[in-house]
Structure 1
């Protein structure tokens, strides 16, 4: 039986309802290739939360000190315990002498103004970390969930690696300077998306603008929360080594972008540069819905099968992020061998969908058999072979 590679152009037929994107497959999409955008940030990373498409990056995988942006991982660990039910928002943790000394008002750093010996509700500690960036609250959570902050920091690192944040190493729960306490802009963006998607019931704390504890009111340090930008999180950071940084997430309509910047020279520049990069991402790019899960993309001929063809279907909803100006030149093609030999089992990976557009890397998505196709019996196979010998018909 002759077998040829068939490429079927589907550009005009790629359409379907918006759904969960093939994020892992679309992570390779780097529209930054054609981008002319520049930033004074030492590190910057901008991505679409639904598709995983990277819209812009600068030193995205360069190890960097994250300062208080580390607290996103501390809070993530707490959210996991809340979701699994091992703790509740009304549980209380005790403030140790060390938490007060190293993270409280006595330390001179960002603090929730906790007092040694008091017991604090978990919900108040969340707000103390997220809104007030309290180092004392972070240490209290670490000691409440583990035997020590050092043990908790190792658990943070282990959990981060399991989440795919392979370039992150945590040495404390606060982000206070440590030469081994490092992460990357990409890892922080992925952590933000993980938090948003896995803990919608708790993510809301990141959008709160102020919190009062022990009679002291403090405002959220995220400057973009106070502007009409769609930003609803997440966390700022600053040390002498890290410079000024921000992990921000903004939602407009059905789109959500996540931005990480670090190494900026001032709070004012951090605010302006973050807003500028987000505006650029929303303006220059759009998400395009191509196929819904289960859609038949093409039909492939079958050799020696009880059916003449098999539908090639997409396994998950497919949404791609493209520069708006590249949409008209997008190409969608299904590539597969033809005819395909029977037997075929539903779900077999038989082909791939290839999406190309100017300025982006090709996107490849697997296509699977939509049905089972049984092989013909001996007499059916002999008849098919004879037809091919006489007329070249493989159907």
Structure 2
């Protein structure tokens, strides 16, 4: 019996080695045109100093102007403040029902820094819940609420600002640096339209349930009723559900806004406009332009089979293939019919064993020879090596296949 097993293993190794010396040819790469297919759609002409329009799902930038120049964030900084707060809650450092005693630093009266700025109107010594302070930051843009939460989470504002800058780097903001927790003008504090769009995307992605709060239109605290300054929340045609306004004399009028329509979510950022009316109008123009001309599609689902490939020397003679993440593409509506899916396998013969989720090649999504996106092509199943009889049969198949290909 031992002799039989030895012979099987011996001949099995010989067959595998013979297969390995059979020339394996890489699939040829095709040279694609670099012409931007989106240039056929004329972009809106806006007067804002800086703006960007981006698709949430695909990350594709549809329109931009000076999107990387530094600009004072004003209250858009509160989006990062809110992000850090939600991180602290998620990590269990604080809870929404915690009660905070308001310090002198967060007391609006007599604080020159808060003079004529957006406030929740907190009073020294009063006790306020975390969930109400979060509403005060998001809906009332309360600078005092930012200070109260920063001190509660980090002990002081400087430590909290360090957290803001830590998360900025972690999520990939390359043109942003914070100096305070509320966004009031300060030297060396800056952001960019692109960074604010990225921050908005990450906020929605990481905290989808908490993000629901951003579409609320009003909040009353201490009998003071305030309206959300994002006027697009009242628009009857755009399904706007966030995110934040900002204004100082130096920054001008800023706005980061998100809207969802036709299963497509777009984010628009306007920086440095001259009036509240203009930032609202130009954001609306960007969003309407995006929804009118583009659509987001989801052609492939993560880990869902879309095809199969033959396997040699395996227990199975084929394997299911797919992708390791959901595929989202932003395309011009009129070009959907031109979409092509082309995949390449690294070698022209797939030899077992194959591991589950092993990268086998790549899959490209193309329109008019322009690659929109590329993803790894993966195996969705494990294929162990077959027995000696399978190996002999597949070896013969390989010889015939190579002979016919000549």
TM range (shorter): 0.7 to 0.9
Partner in structure 2 of residue 346 of structure 1: 356
SS in 1 for 2:309: strand
Aligned residue for 1:261? 270
What residue is the counterpart of 1:252 in the other structure? Answer: 261
Q: How does 1:57-206 map to 2 (within 5 A)?
A: 57-100=64-107, 107-206=115-214
SS at match of 1:338: coil
Q: How high is the TM-score relative to the length of structure 2?
A: 0.82
Provide Cα deviations, 1:197-221, integer angstroms capped at 9, x if missing partner. Answer: 3323322321121222233222111
d(CA) in 1 for partners of 2:179 and 2:251? 15
Give distance in 2, aligned partners of 1:377 and 1:210: 70
User: Quick one: distance in 1 between partners of 2:400 and 2:125?
Assistant: 92
**Correspondent of 2:42 among 24, 36, 42:** 36
Does the CA-based 8 Å contact 2:94-2:153 persist in structure 1? no
For residues 303-318 of structure 1, the aligned pairs below 5 Å read 303-318=312-327
Which of 1 and 2 has higher RCO (CA within 8 Å, sep 6+)?
Answer: 1
**1:300 to 1:267, Cα distance in 2 relative to 1, 3 A:** same
Cα deviation digits, residues 356-386 of structure 1 (max 9, x gap): 1259653101111233334466786566556
**Structure 2 matches for 1:252-331, cutoff 5 A?**
252-331=261-340
Other-structure match for 1:14: none
* 1:225 paired residue among 208, 211, 233: 233
SS in 1 for 2:211: helix
Contact 1:7–1:334 under 8 Å retained in 2: no
Higher gyration radius (CA): 2
Counterparts of 2:184 and 2:397, CA distance in 1: 76
Shift of 1:41: 1.9
Work out the CA distance in 2 between the residues paired with 1:108 and 1:85: 35
Q: Structure 2: any 5+ residue segments left out of the alignment?
A: 1-21, 30-35
Instruction: Please list the CA deviations of residues 128-147 of structure 1 after superposition, one character each: whole Å capped at 9, or x if unmatched.
Output: 21122111111111112112
1:365 is the counterpart of 2:383: no
What's the secondary structure of 1:392's corresponding residue?
helix
Q: 1:124 to 1:160 in 2, by over 3 A?
A: same
Q: Deviations over 1:331-378 (max 9, x none)?
A: 211111311233322221002110112596531011112333344667
Measured after TM superposition, the shift of residue 270 of structure 1 is 0.5
Q: TM-score, normalised by structure 1?
A: 0.85
Runs of 5+ consecutive residues of structure 1 not aligned to the other structure:
9-29
Distance in 1 separating the partners of 2:398 and 2:293: 53
Secondary structure of the residue that 1:364 maps to in structure 2? Answer: strand
CA contact (8 A) 1:44 1:57 kept: yes
**Is the Cα contact below 8 Å between 2:161 and 2:179 reproduced in 1?**
yes
Aligned length: 376
Moved more, 279-288 or 31-40: 31-40
Contact 1:302–1:338 (8 Å) recurs in 2 = no
Distance 2:252 2:371 in 1: 32
Indicate the SS of the match to 1:45: strand
> Is the contact made by 1:326 and 1:358 (CA closer than 8 Å) also made in structure 2?
no
Is 1:104–1:136's contact at 8 Å kept on the other side of the alignment?
no
Whole-Å Cα distance in 1 between the matches of residues 369 and 272 of structure 2?
28
Give the distance between the partners of 1:31 and 1:154, measured in 2 at CA.
Answer: 41
Give RMSD over aligned pairs: 3.0
Correspondence list, 1:18-29, <5 A? none
Partner of 2:23: 2
Shift in CA distance, 313/147, structure 1 to aligned 2, threshold 3 Å: same
- 1:356 corresponds in structure 2 to 366
Contact 1:285 1:321 in 2 (8 A): yes
